[in-house]
Amino acid sequence: MIRLLIVDDEVIIRNGLSSVIDWEGLGFTLLAPAASAEEALERLIEEKPHVILTDIRMAGQSGLDLAREAHLFNPQIETVILTGYDDFKYAQQAIRFGVSDYLLKTSRPEEIIKTMMKAKQRILQHREEERQDHTHRVIYRNRLLERLLTESAREDSLPPEWAEHLPQIQLSPVGGESLQVVIIKTSGWGTQPQIRSLLLFAVDNCLNNLLECETLLRKDDIALVLRNASATAGQRLLKHASAQIRQALKCELFAAIGTEVKHIKDLHKSYCQALYAASFQGLTETTDSVAYEQIKDRSGGRTVCSLEEEAELASLLQNGSPIELKAWATNIIGRQLHDPELTPDSLRAFVISIIVSGHRWLERVMRAIGKGDLSPLLCGKDLPESFSLFNEPAETLFSQLITLRDAYHKSAADGPSSYIQQAVAYIQAHLACNISLQQVAGAVHLHPHHFSEVFKREMGINYLEFVTRERMRRAEELLTQSPAKISEIAKSVGYEDIKYFGQLFKKHTGKTPSEFRNKP
């Protein structure tokens, strides 16, 4: 609403102007009328009117004096002169004093309304221009800061006005100060996009109030540039500000900290370091911050799961409960998180290797029973190619593995020969073991003789031929995809005697294991 102050030393005039026109209906908030210019000037600071409608001739200071003083106080105030003297000189003088318009006291209400609505429109137009100007300045400033962070920009390559837009990162000419980029991540208010954006906005405001910094509000985090007076000052102030924000906003903050740099052109280096440190969220002992210096020398942990872990997984996908599968995922990820050389890339590769192993096991089972297409079973879930690691890798891994388990059990429940599929899955999970027909028959609760007959009828080959075929297929995969020694591969598919394994493999493929691995 536009605040309107009517000023006239004649009570009948000021009361009449206040009551004869429906100011509220026109979009004005009518302040209590003032009886003099002196009273109006005293109330300017507290009531901050947007429009003043005043008489020229009053006892004491005149309306022109009021207009001049009001204009000095706030050049945006619209002052409309109302007078009984139709004298052009007054109008000329009023314009020099910043008066917006000029009305006679004999003006009809509709003329007064028309003039006041013009004043209102000028105020609204000015507000919109200021809003647009502010928006343009913010956009320009953000682009400038983004350029400094994402490019190695020298100070002499920046526009001359850069320091005006980013005053908090202008280093003192006497030296001693440094700049440091920190990536701030927030949580604790919920996962809805609007709520997360609101929390980021609130944290951004707090940071600018508490620190000498420049911030760049982004979709999922805040890029913060600290100006430090000493090597330890920035860290101390950041820690103190983070504690205040946590308490005030009831939220959690995570800070990924780049190294300090002495020149504007090196901000890009500190920014890249902060981004890399941010990727370690949830992967280090500290939960509220990670500094680049802490993790810069890590070489990476394991990237591929072992054959033993693959066998454990296959058994769990077939016979394990969701609780057991989740415990296994939590345990295997927990072991990786304790590796002091772990990096996000190595953990991601390791997790993907487990998921790929699960997919291959399910593919082998489906292939062995003549069901090659997994897409209907997986219900459109993300496959490893589109997999991404989040802050809870164990939960992420479990969500992928439970999809595979459910796909297998859905397939096993279909058809009259579901126990044959269960037997095939059992064999696939135990290829490294000495699995007898009696052992597999017991696993699916069938008499060995009956199981042997049904298995051959359903699969088209007898049990021993099937096991040998699947072992050779698995050996082919390992020879192609794994750097393991041939003796290790032989053991992983159930053969202690490497010579016997080689004979069987050549009979199956026409090549020795070495020839198969080295084929072009």
The torsion angles phi and psi of 301, rounded to 5 degrees, stand at: -90, -160
Given this model, what pLDDT does residue 85 score?
64
Q: What is the mean pLDDT of residues 23-34?
A: 95
Kindly tell me if the per-residue pLDDT of 244 is higher than 90. yes
Residue with token string 């003006």: 107
Structural domains in the chain, CATH included, are 2-127 (3.40.50.2300), 174-295 (3.30.70.270), 300-414 (no CATH), 430-520 (1.10.10.60)
How does residue 350 score in pLDDT terms, banded at 50, 70 and 90?
very high
**272-313 pLDDT tens trace:** 999 999 999 888 878 899 999 999 999 998 998 888 898 889
Asked whether the beta carbons of 222 and 207 are under 8 A apart, the reply is: yes
Given this model, what pLDDT does residue 221 score?
94
Q: What is the mean pLDDT of residues 115-120?
A: 94
Share of the chain above pLDDT 70, in %: 92
Q: What is the mean pLDDT of residues 329-336?
A: 92
CB contact set of 117 (below 8 Å; sequence gap of 6+):
26
Could you tell me the two tokens for 249? Answer: 């906003």
**435-483 pLDDT tens trace:** 899 988 888 888 889 888 888 887 888 999 999 998 998 899 888 878 8
Given this model, what pLDDT does residue 385 score?
47
**Which of 311, 324, 392 is closest to 354 using CA atoms?**
311
Pairing mode, strands 2-7 and 252-261: unpaired
How does residue 255 score in pLDDT terms, banded at 50, 70 and 90?
very high
Q: What is the DSSP string of 247-277?
A: HHHT-EEEEEEEEEESSGGGHHHHHHHHHHH
Residue with token string 């509000």: 217
Q: What is the mean pLDDT of residues 396-403?
A: 88
Given this model, what pLDDT does residue 390 score?
52
- SS3 sequence, 474-485? HHHHHHHHCCCC
Share of the chain above pLDDT 90, in %: 43
Q: What mean pLDDT, rounded, does the chain reach? A: 86
Residue with token string 């294991």: 513
**Which of 288, 199, 301, 190 is closest to 238 using CA atoms?**
288
Is the model more confident about 336 or about 387? 336
**177-230 pLDDT tens trace:** 889 999 999 999 988 989 999 999 999 999 999 998 999 999 999 999 998 877
Kindly tell me if the per-residue pLDDT of 117 is higher than 80. yes
At 143, which amino acid appears?
R
At 221, which amino acid appears?
D
